[in-house]
Amino acid sequence: MKKDFLKGLRHSVPIAVGYFAVSFSFGILTAKYMKFGFSAVSSGILSLTNVTSAGQFAAVTAIVGGSGLVEMAILQFIINLRYALMGFSLNQKLPENMSLFQRSVIAFGNTDEIFAVAISDKYPLSFHYMLGLESLPIFGWTAGTVVGFLAGEILPKSVTTALGIALYGMLISIVMPVARQEKSVRTVVLISIALSCLFFYIPLLNVVNSGFAVVICTVLSSSFGAYFFPVKEEENEV
Amino acid sequence: MRYNIYIYILVMATVTYLIRVLPLTVFKKKIKNKYILSFLHYVPYTCLSAMIVPAIFYSTSSLLSAVAGFCVAVILGYFKKGLVTVAVSASLAVFAVEMLIKFAF
């Protein structure tokens, strides 16, 4: 039990460090929007309860744009739907007899990176291993957000402006290698960008809440991809 | 602002948790439909791209510095540099260009 937990902790160290860096720039971002209710505490709670990068990032845009609650729910549903897919896959690696309570606990921290590490480990995955694997990254994600927020308040504007692009840089570093490798991903990414620009620049279209525009771009371009470039069986393990 | 921030957080956290918990507890059957699987395969990338462009160009104090940061990130990302390397380099590019604009013109 304890051994499993420690093994999980050890495996999670690189994830936790990476999360701290990403959420640090998320904190810097939210520090710009204090008048919308973001504080060190609310940003920290947001990170602690959600533990999603893209979902939280899109949410900031949506909140600043005055999104409705249903819009917000749909936005999170679409952007985070991939976690369901990972859940189905993770499920195959959990021992059959794992209790409902234990399953409900480890479901909380199933992020892209944790899933990737868990799935590459020898199964079956024990509850304590998963607990160890998830706790440090969740802590890193939350702490990074709070520290980033506080840094955003004290650092000079020239520095926070420069750091403001860091989050986008990280997102680009996630998309680019895959776009380079897979032609289909490259195509759908370009379609999504083109649609996103339409929603930003074209009158009438640009009144759509920017968070919701992201959903429309995501759904349209991904549907196009699914229809024209269905993924082959073996690539399905996200 | 239409709603309190904590109401937004509650909605987000609930939706996200349900997405994560249901496949592990209630709907344990694996998705087999290749169109749904493909759709989900593309979602992270299309979603991130739509969030990046064109918003990134307005994320700094001038279009010029943002374009510089964007180009640095795209080039380094293309060469598969790590997350932190790309982010820090893009930030440095923005900082350098903004200093240049401030003092040279």
Is the pLDDT at A191 greater than 90? The verdict is: yes
Q: Which residue has the higher pLDDT, A203 or B31?
A: A203
CB contact under 8 A, B49 and A176: no
List the end-to-end C-alpha distance of chain B, in Å, as a whole number: 38
Cis peptide leading into residue A156 (ω within 30°): no
Q: Mind listing the pLDDT tens digit for each residue in A137-185?
A: 999 999 999 999 999 999 998 888 888 888 888 889 889 999 999 999 9
Determine the average pLDDT of the residues in A198-221. Answer: 87
Closest among A46, A53, A29, A82 to A171, alpha carbons compared: A53
Give the pLDDT score at A65.
87
Q: Which residues fall within 8 angstroms of residue A31, CB to CB, at 6 or more apart?
A: A38, A43, A148, A149, A150, A151, A152, A153, A160
| Token pair in block for residue A117 | 């590490």
Most confident segment among A18-22, A73-77, A138-142: A138-142
Cis peptide leading into residue A137 (ω within 30°): no
Whole-number average pLDDT of chain A: 89
Sketch the domain layout of chain B as residue ranges: 53-104
Across A88-92, A214-218, B58-62, least confident range:
A88-92
Q: Mind listing the pLDDT tens digit for each residue in B73-89?
A: 999 999 999 888 898 99
Sketch the domain layout of chain A as residue ranges: 2-175, 182-238
Determine the average pLDDT of the residues in A191-197. Answer: 97
Instruction: Give the ipTM.
Output: 0.89
Contact of B30 with chain A, judged by CB distance below 8 Å, is answered with yes
Please identify among residues 37-76 of chain B the ones whose CB lies closer than 8 Å to any CB of chain A.
37-56, 59-61, 65-66, 69-70, 72-74, 76
Nearest CA-CA distance, residue B32 and chain A, Å: 9
Mark A45-73 as b/e (b = at least 16 C-beta within 10 Å).
bbbbbbbbbbbbbbbbbbbbbebeeebbb
Is the pLDDT at A127 greater than 80? The verdict is: yes
Please identify among residues 94-133 of chain A the ones whose CB lies closer than 8 Å to any CB of chain B.
94, 100, 103-104, 106-108, 110, 112
Nearest CA-CA distance, residue A41 and chain B, Å: 11
Chain A to chain B, count of Cβ pairs less than 8 Å apart?
Answer: 305
Q: Specify the pTM.
A: 0.81
Q: Quick one: closest CA in B to A56, which residue?
A: B12
Counting other chains too, the contacts that B29-33 makes at CB distance below 8 Å and 24 or more residues apart are B29/A88, B30/A88, B30/A89, B30/A91, B30/A92, B31/A85, B31/A88
Percent of chain B with pLDDT over 70: 98
Of A72, A88, A166, the CB nearest to B87: A166
Determine the average pLDDT of the residues in B54-69. Answer: 93
CB contact under 8 A, A50 and B40: no
